[in-house]
Amino acid sequence: MSFNSNLMYIFRIILILVALALLAVSVSQFMNGYKAWQDAQRLEQEIQMEILRLENRLEQLRKRVELLKEDTLTKERLVRKRFGYVKPGEVKIKITKPTSIE
């Protein structure tokens, strides 16, 4: 082999090694980006589920508000429970736990 052919052989090997190194870096960067994309997809799904849960809760609260606005029986039950309201002529009885005797 002549000097030029040896030099060309070494140059090709160097080019192949550089190409392989660039390929390895590219694959590594792609894998990092792919993992980040998967993480973002998972996060988006979790957020969508949380949005659905909150929308359901909002609907429940809206229904409760409408009940409280329109239903007098519901209003009365709420006032009786929270504030201990009794109608004239009714007797309120409070049951308590007995204290221990020592």
Give 40: exposed, middle or buried? Use CB within 10 Å, 0-12, 13-18, 19+. exposed
Residue 92 inside a domain? The answer is: no
Q: pLDDT category, 102, cuts 50, 70, 90?
A: low
Look up the domain containing 18 and give its range.
Answer: 3-83
- pTM equals 0.50
* pLDDT above 80: residue 41: yes
Residue 56 inside a domain? The answer is: yes
How many domains, in total, are found in the chain? 1
Residue 89 inside a domain? The answer is: no
Per residue in 80-99, pLDDT tens?
A: 888 888 888 888 887 888 88
Residue 25 inside a domain? The answer is: yes
Q: pLDDT category, 1, cuts 50, 70, 90?
A: low
Per residue in 58-77, pLDDT tens?
A: 999 999 888 888 888 888 88
* 29: phi then psi, degrees, rounded to nearest 5: -65, -40
Torsion of CA 41, 45, 48, 49, to 10 degrees: -170
